[in-house]
Amino acid sequence: MTNERDEVHPFEGRVDSPYWDGLGAGELRIQRCQRCERWSWPADWRCPACGGYEFRWERVEPVGRVYSWIRSHLPFVAAYADLVPYVNVLVELPQAGNARIMGLLTGDEDGIRIGAPLTGEFRPASPRTADLPVLTWSIDARAAA
Ligand SMILES: [Zn+2]
């Protein structure tokens, strides 16, 4: 399934290209409206709160908490078939107005629960990730203790 956001060519023309550039540089960058300061994720061309078109991208520490999670038992993504079952987390980012971002949970699943603290890890582009850098998440056992 694709939508207009995914069909923009070249890739640099996508509304979320600064996010991907950031991952490649080892930074989590989230879109923020210059008019009303609202954090926006997924990125958009127009602010859903105030209607503004001017945005900036702010660096955010890759630290958050589990807003929700799901364990996939079916290989919805062919490149991830060998990882089944795996957990996807919806990560709430307190430093970005509680914007939420999806990601793959890596490492120990013990302690997975709503509100569990998470730390992100930047990973390089690979064939598995469609040649895009990614951010994966793991439970921060020290913060959970
Ligand atoms: Zn706004």
What are the tens digits of pLDDT across the range 39-73? 999 999 999 999 999 999 999 999 999 999 999 99
Q: In this structure, are residues 69 and 102 in contact, taking their beta carbons and an 8 Å threshold?
A: no
**CA dihedral sign of residues 113, 139, 80, 135:** positive
Q: How far is the CA of 58 from the centre of ligand 1 (A)?
A: 15
Q: What is the pTM of this model?
A: 0.88
Q: How far is the CA of 13 from the centre of ligand 1 (A)?
A: 21
Q: Which residues lie across from 122 on neighbouring strands? A: 135
Q: How far is the CA of 50 from the centre of ligand 1 (A)?
A: 4
Nearest-angstrom CA–CA distance, 51 and 85: 41
Nearest to 84 by CA among 98, 96, 70, 94: 70
DSSP state of 54: -
Q: How far is the CA of 33 from the centre of ligand 1 (A)?
A: 5
